[in-house]
Amino acid sequence: EAGVVQSPRYKIIEKKQPVAFWCNPISGHNTLYWYLQNLGQGPELLIRYENEEAVDDSQLPKDRFSAERLKGVDSTLKIQPAELGDSAVYLCASSQTSGTSVPNEQFFGPGTRLTVL
Amino acid sequence: KQEVTQIPAALSVPEGENLVLNCSFTDSAIYNLQWFRQDPGKGLTSLLLIQSSQREQTSGRLNASLDKSSGRSTLYIAASQPGDSATYLCAASRGSEKLVFGKGTKLTVNP
């Protein structure tokens, strides 16, 4: 079974440039998460989707960050314009959350390491 | 607001030693406690998930326990090997809501 796929794995851009990250979750997983991980820290949630609906975007800096999950499968996270402080690892995760008996285990992709110069 | 703390921040042990990693959380109203492993430059690999109704889970040389009343979880690694060297993260969640992570414990197992 294929895991969570993310691309690109690495991205280096100049500040003020736009950047986009793509995520393909595990087949059948209806919940998709984007997390941000700074060096030496645990990941922090940016946005959570259940199917096509963004159900928690309270931590997403909406002035420069946007995300979409068309057709409830793949998702794209965009930053425009990027700032130096956005340098971090962006992780995508997915889980199957239908039914109360499902443990809602989250599975993570390899991440995209963003460097803003 | 849930806060997760992991102690110690770093641990170095000789090969073959049994060890315990600690995780504490402030809000006991959790549904799941999940342990992850992260290798340098890599994503997170799920090791064990303990549901709130459970007290422990085992996978191979790993055993994780959960005590909701005291807000603690431990990850026990038996007979450690150099390949176990990585950062171990614990995270708490309420169902499908976000995982709240600790900062991790960096483990080094010396041959």
pLDDT over 70 (residue A1):
no
Residue A98: pLDDT band by 50, 70, 90 thresholds?
low
Q: A59 to chain B: nearest residue by CA?
A: B98
Q: Is the minimum CB–CB distance between B43 and chain A shorter than 8 Å?
A: yes
Q: Is the minimum CB–CB distance between A31 and chain B shorter than 8 Å?
A: yes
pLDDT of residue B65: 96
Q: Edge-to-edge strands of the sheet including A75-79?
A: A5-7, A19-24, A75-79, A65-68
Q: Is B98:A58 a contact under the CB 8 Å cutoff?
A: no
Length of chain B counted residue by residue: 111
d(CA B72, CA B49): 14
H/E stretch holding A50 reads strand A44-50
C-alpha A29, offset from chain centre: 14
Look at A42 and B104 and tell me if their CB atoms are within 8 Å. Answer: yes
Q: Is the minimum CB–CB distance between A68 and chain B shorter than 8 Å?
A: no
Q: Which two tokens stand for residue B85?
A: 């060297």
Exposed/middle/buried for residue B41 (C-beta within 10 Å: 0-12, 13-18, 19+) = exposed
Residue B97: pLDDT band by 50, 70, 90 thresholds?
confident
pLDDT of residue B96: 74
Phi-psi domain of A99 (left: phi exceeds 0; alpha: psi -120 through 50; beta: other)? left
pLDDT of residue A99: 57
Look at B43 and A110 and tell me if their CB atoms are within 8 Å. Answer: yes
Exposed/middle/buried for residue A62 (C-beta within 10 Å: 0-12, 13-18, 19+) = exposed
Q: B87 to chain A: nearest residue by CA?
A: A40
Q: Distance, in angstroms, between B12 CA and closest chain A CA?
A: 17
pLDDT over 90 (residue B44):
yes
Phi, psi of A70 (to 5 degrees): -75, 140
Q: How far is CA A66 from CA A31, A33, A117, B92, in A?
A: 17, 13, 21, 26
Q: Is the minimum CB–CB distance between A9 and chain B shorter than 8 Å?
A: no
H/E stretch holding A107 reads strand A107-108
Q: How far is CA B45 from CA A87, A101, A112, B32, B66, in A?
A: 22, 22, 15, 16, 19
| SS3 sequence of chain B | CCCEEEECCEEEEECCCCEEEEEEECCCCCCEEEEEEECCCCCEEEEEEEECCCCEEEECCEEEEEECCCCEEEEEECCCCHHHCEEEEEEEECCCCCCEECCCEEEEEEC
pLDDT of residue B95: 73
Look at A42 and B97 and tell me if their CB atoms are within 8 Å. Answer: no
Using the structure block, give the residue that is written with the tokens 């315990």: B20
Q: Is the minimum CB–CB distance between A25 and chain B shorter than 8 Å?
A: no
pLDDT over 60 (residue A100):
no
Residue in B89, B93, B95 closest to A42 by CB: B89
Q: Which of A63, A67, A44, A64 is nearest to A54 (CA)?
A: A67
Q: Which residues of A touch B42 (CB under 8 A)?
A: 110-111
